[in-house]
Structures are given as C-alpha cells and as structure tokens.
Amino acid sequence: MRARDELSDMLVLAVRSVRRIPRQPDLLIGFTVQPVMFVLLFVYVFGGAISTPGLDYVDFLVPGIIVQSMVFGGFVTALGLAEDLKKGLMDRFRSLPMSRSAVLTGRTLADVSTNVIQLVVMLVVGVLVGFDFKTRVLEILAGIGLLLLVGYAFSWVFAFIGLTASSPEAANALGFVILFPVTFVSSAFVPVRSMPGWLQPVADNNPFTVMVNAARRLFVDTPAATDVWLAPVWSVGIALVFGALAILRYRRVLAR
Amino acid sequence: MSTSLAIEAVDLRKRYGDVEALRGVELAVPAGSVLGLLGPNGAGKTTTLRILTTLLKPDAGTARVAGFDVVRQPASVRARIGLAGQYAAVDENLTGFENLELVGRLYHLGRRASRQRAGELLESFGLTDAGKRLVRTYSGGMRRRLDLAAALVAQPPILFLDEPTTGLDIRSRLALWEAITSLVAGGTTVLLTTQDLDEADRLAHRITVVDHGVVIAEGTPDELKLQVGGDRLEILLADGADAAEAERLVAALGDGAPRVVDRTLSLPVERRRAAIADVVRRLDEAGIGIEDIATRRPTLDDVFLKLTGHAAEDGEGQS
C-alpha cells in the first residue's frame, strides 16, 4: 500500500464520517445544544453555590467544561464503529483493496472537525454569558490546540469502546459510564479543595484535572497546579495506548 | 468457457472454539461460470465465503481466487473481487451516489472516475433518481441493488454474493436475478450462497451442497436431481373412487411401486407421455374417475431433503 493511497483512504473515510453528521439530528444536538445546555446550567443553576476564590465562576467553568466536551466529542467514533460492525460495512471495507487502518484513522480524524464546531459553539456561548480571556493571543491559540489534542486522544478511547461494545447503544452507555465520573472527579466544575479529603488526591492525579488546569492556565491565567506541559504529554500517551488497544481490538473483532 | 479456475479451495478448515465450522471444504469454479453454494444455516457457507473474500483466515487448507492465494496475497485478491452480502452493507446516512462514489475512491479510481462510475451504475440499476436520496429512505430491494452495484464499482471479474435475495419480494428478486444473469453473460464468475433452491436452479451452472462443514454433493442441477430419481405422475382421483383398485391397476404401467396418499396416486415413470396415456386409458376402462393429473420433476428441494435429511429452510444456528 502506497503512502499516498493510505492518506487518501483516511481522508475519504473522514469526509464520509463528517457528511453523515448533519443527517443524524440526534448527533447534531449532541454537538451543539447539549454543551450549550451544560454551560447555561452550570453558570446559572449551580454557579451561585460554588465558590471559586479569586475568579468568577464563569471564568473558572468555561475552560473545564470545554475540555469535558472535547473528551466526549469522540462518542461519534464509538457509535460509528459499532454501527459499521453491526451493519456489515466493515466487511465491505475490508473486501476492498484499501488501507486497513484508515477505517480507524479516518474516524478519529473526522472527530477533530466536529470538535472544532463544538469548540466554536462553546466559546461563543461562553463569551455571551460573561467569559473573558485573560491571556495573550498566543496562549489562547496554544490552549485551543491543546483542547483539540485532548479531543483527538479521547477519540481513540472511544474507538476502543466502540469496537469492544456489543452494539451502538451499548457503546454509548459504556462510554458514558466510564468517562462521566472521570470528568466530574476533577477540577473541571468545582475546586478540588472543596472535595472530601480522601477524594482530593484522586481528583488531583486525574489526568483530566491536569488537562483542565492547563486549559485554565492558557485561557484565564490561573496558576496551573501541575506543569502545563504535562497535559499534551498525557494526551499523546492516551492516544498511543488506546490507539494500540483499538488496533488490537479491531484485529480481534474481525477475526471472528 | 475457459478451463482455468477462477476460484479454487482445497481442504479448508476453520474452528470456532469447540465448533468445527469447516471440516475440509473443496471448491472449484471455472472462470465465467456460476457456482451455487447451498446448505442449511450453520453448514459453513458464510464461513467459506468469508475465507475466499480474505475477511477470515482459514486454520488449514488453501484457497486461490483469480490465481492469488487468499492468505498470502490478499491485496491482489481484493483488487479482483466484488462482494455483496445478505446484510446490504451500504451506509444508510449517505445517498446512493455517495455510497458508490465512496467505494470507487477506496478502490483508488480517483474522484472523477469514481463519480462517473457511480452515475453509470445507478443508471444501470434503475436508481438514478433515488441516487440523490439517503439510503435509509430506500426499500429493501433498492438497498440490495445498490449493494450489488457497490460490488461492481471496479468491474471485478469475480463476484461473491452472500444470499443476495434473502427476504426480498418476488419483483425485487426477479430484478436482481436479471442483473446477475446479465453480468454472467458478460463473463463474470459468480459464487453465490443461497438457501433458496429456486434461485440456485435459475442462476447456477453447478451446485455444491455443504452440510456440517463438508461438501456432501456436487454437480449440475440436473445431475443432482437425477440422484433423487426421475419424474413422477401424480393422479388426483375423483371423490369416492376406489384408490386401492386404482393402485393395483396402474402398478404395471410405471417404473416403480405406486403410492397412495389420500386421493392422490403417485407413480414413478421414465417415459412420461406414454405413461400418461396408459394410465388414463386403464383407469377410464375401470370406471375410476380422474380429477386432475400432473407430472412432477424432482426439485432441488427434494435433492436437499434427501442429502441433508432436512428441508433447506430449517437449519440449526447461524453460520
């Protein structure tokens, strides 16, 4: 397989995944309405009860909630892969003289574009409800890059989930059950110091906290408890580990 | 017809845990011909097909498709085959055109050639208007036609069809049969799995029957039918006729012992026309009324029943 064909297969399948999205209104809602709803709920319902010393709650919340939405953006990959397996499209692809890995790399690449849409929607809504960047343009751009990297890494987590689950519905449920606690036991929505003592080390060492702190540092200039550089390191690590797991799983599933 | 083999399988074996799905399947399909692979559910049809299309590796045995080894040269095999499956593997959230274009791009035909080919195929399958619509709005028959069209994008010389008409209504089935027949007329080699014996009879030059992972019979449809015997006369006697007397009278006229079930008298015959005249005359002389008379040739259903001990539809489990 020539490198040019590999690349072309990945792009063709990414375009296919992106094309499907506007045709599935439930998915589209997942990208746009749902994150907006979360921002509004947290800012206006919970925000008043959460104390974030030295920072308005909206400035505290927006970087965290965007990281969360990037993490969950990959659910399209889980759903899509589970559906392709169930409907027999995976067999069609595999009977073609195309790159084998493109089925996975095309999917995860498509997530980047949907994550961009989410990111734009959330930043606009965030600004409308009072979020204010407190850093320079270069830092903001670095933060946006980091967010997309985080999203890409978790797309591989979802690829693994999609290939492991028995159906698209199960993939959805499994992804939610695994990742929801991870994103909430973190610094995304409340300061870690407000949690019970036994939970604080868990939240502090959660890679998701590392990513949220880094995003906060790059958007609103809070001192990150951990080094900003740890966030991309974690992201790349997660992408590599779950990428390998997903590829192994892919081979296993197809050998049946 | 050339004598070279388009598809050849020798001693294919595959095991899933404790279940031996294939226990030494042998196949030989000459280029340009149609082989019907028959068998009940769980017989090993789909497993065989998946191995031949490089989707699955056999535990043992070898298979060559278009002269290439399916295990060692899978890319060369894939470039020469088309696969259409029983689950109609097309993307519901793309249009018919986009589906075919996608397949063309994945064959690396290039954007322009892929689009052109998609248009041609939609037209030849009567889907030109539907081609702009999302596939999820298609009927079952339209999906199958699109699925078959997708298998033909790269004009493959060898086509694998996994139960292509299962679950379709008569009209869609006839349309699909017609499409397959014209491909074969153009020189395409086809391997077709089916549980529909009528389909195998219509389309296949030769038939291979598998059961429990091995080939249990092989031949042309006529050869297989001969194995279960020749024609039979079936005579429906008039109400109140003496069936036992009728049975006695015709016994000497057939080529085997007659049987009576209710009012139907069944008689094996070799020369149909003479036998019909003899039977009618003899029963008429004896004053035994005849309501209806028919000759029945053995069907592949009879073949199947005899070979596997059960009818085609009631298999056990999914292969």
- HEC secondary structure over chain B: CCCCEEEEEEEEEEEECCEEEEEEEEEEEECCCEEEEECCCCCCHHHHHHHHCCCCCCCEEEEEECCEECCCCHHHHHCCEEEECCCCCCCCCCEHHHHHHHHHHHCCCCHHHHHHHHHHHHHHCCCCCHHHCEHHHCCHHHHHHHHHHHHCCCCCCEEEEECCCCCCCHHHHHHHHHHHHHHHHCCCEEEEEECCHHHHHHHCCEEEEEECCEEEEEECHHHHHHHCCCCEEEEEECCCCCHHHHHHHHCCCCCCCCEEECCEEEEECCCHHHHHHHHHHHHHHCCCCEEEEEEECCCHHHHHHHHHCCCCCCCCCCC
Query: What is the token pair recorded at A237?
Result: 């690590």
The string of DSSP letters for A130-149 reads T----S-HHHHHHHHHHHHH
B94 at interface of A, judged by CB pairs closer than 8 A: yes
Which distant-in-sequence residues (6+ apart) come within 8 Å of B219 by Cβ? B206, B207, B227
Are the Cβ atoms of B108 and A95 closer than 8 angstroms?
no
Domains of chain B, each with CATH number or no CATH: 5-226 (3.40.50.300), 231-297 (3.30.70.100)
> What whole-number distance in Å separates Cα of residue A200 and Cα of residue A187?
10
- The residues that bridge with B259 in the sheet, in sequence order, are B266
* Residue from B51, B101, B107, B108 to probe the interface with A (highest A Cβ count within 10 Å): B108
Residue of B nearest to A23 (CA): B93
Which distant-in-sequence residues (6+ apart) come within 8 Å of A185 by Cβ? A195, A199, A202, A203, A206
> What whole-number distance in Å separates Cα of residue B178 and Cα of residue B161?
14
pLDDT tens column, A17-73: 999 988 888 888 877 888 889 899 999 998 888 888 888 899 999 999 999 999 998
Whether the per-residue pLDDT at B48 is higher than 70: the answer is yes
Q: Residue B241 to residues A144, B210, B285: CA-CA distances in angstroms?
A: 93, 44, 13
Alpha helices in chain A (DSSP H): 3-20, 25-31, 33-41, 57-73, 75-87, 89-94, 102-128, 137-164, 168-184, 200-205, 207-220, 230-254
> What whole-number distance in Å separates Cα of residue A82 and Cα of residue B94?
17
B contacts of A96 (beta carbons < 8 Å): 78, 103, 106-107
| ipTM of the shown complex | 0.87
The closest of B67, B54, B51 to B6, measured between CA atoms, is: B67
State percent of chain A over pLDDT 70: 98
A contacts of B98 (beta carbons < 8 Å): 16, 19
Tally the residues of chain B. Answer: 319
Q: Between B50, B93, B107, which is nearest A24 by CB?
A: B93
Angle, in degrees to the nearest 10, between helices A57-73 and A207-220: 130
> What whole-number distance in Å separates Cα of residue B68 and Cα of residue A91?
20
Residue of A nearest to B77 (CA): A97
A228: three-class secondary structure by DSSP:
coil
Evaluate whether A202 touches A185 at the Cβ level (below 8 Å).
yes
Are the Cβ atoms of B93 and A12 closer than 8 angstroms?
no
Evaluate whether B49 touches B161 at the Cβ level (below 8 Å).
no
Torsion of CA B99, B102, B108, B114, to 10 degrees: 60
Evaluate whether B211 touches B307 at the Cβ level (below 8 Å).
yes
**Total CB pairs under 8 A between chain A and B:** 70
* Residue from A15, A84, A95 to probe the interface with B (highest B Cβ count within 10 Å): A95
pLDDT tens column, B5-44: 999 999 999 998 888 999 999 999 999 999 999 988 888 9
Q: Between A1, A97, A254, which is nearest B107 by CB?
A: A97
Q: How sure is the predictor about B310, in pLDDT bands with cuts at 50, 70 and 90?
A: low
Query: What confidence score (pLDDT) does residue B243 get?
Result: 84
Evaluate whether A73 touches B67 at the Cβ level (below 8 Å).
no
pLDDT tens column, B137-160: 999 889 989 999 999 999 999 999
In the predicted model, what is the mean pLDDT of chain B? 87
In the predicted model, what is the mean pLDDT of chain A? 90
Query: What confidence score (pLDDT) does residue B88 get?
Result: 60
pLDDT tens column, B33-46: 999 999 888 889 98
Which distant-in-sequence residues (6+ apart) come within 8 Å of B79 by Cβ? A97, B107, B154
Query: What confidence score (pLDDT) does residue B311 get?
Result: 59
Give the closest-approach CA distance of B306 to chain A in angstroms. Answer: 32
Q: Residue A244: CA atoms inside 13 Å, Cβ hemisphere, count?
A: 5
Tally the residues of chain A. Answer: 256
Evaluate whether A47 touches A58 at the Cβ level (below 8 Å).
yes
Cβ neighbours of B55 (radius 10 Å): 22
> What whole-number distance in Å separates Cα of residue B162 and Cα of residue B76?
21
Q: How sure is the predictor about A104, in pLDDT bands with cuts at 50, 70 and 90?
A: very high
Measure CA B112 to chain center: 36
Cβ neighbours of B15 (radius 10 Å): 14
Query: What confidence score (pLDDT) does residue A256 get?
Result: 64
Domain extent for A186: 3-254
> What whole-number distance in Å separates Cα of residue A208 and Cα of residue B236?
82
Give me the number of domains chain A comprises. Answer: 1
Residue of A nearest to B134 (CA): A23
- HEC secondary structure over A163-204: HHCCCHHHHHHHHHHHHHHHHHCCCCCCCHHHCCCCCHHHHH
> What whole-number distance in Å separates Cα of residue B133 and Cα of residue B155?
24
Are the Cβ atoms of B55 and A97 closer than 8 angstroms?
no
Evaluate whether B52 touches B191 at the Cβ level (below 8 Å).
yes
Are the Cβ atoms of B55 and A92 closer than 8 angstroms?
no
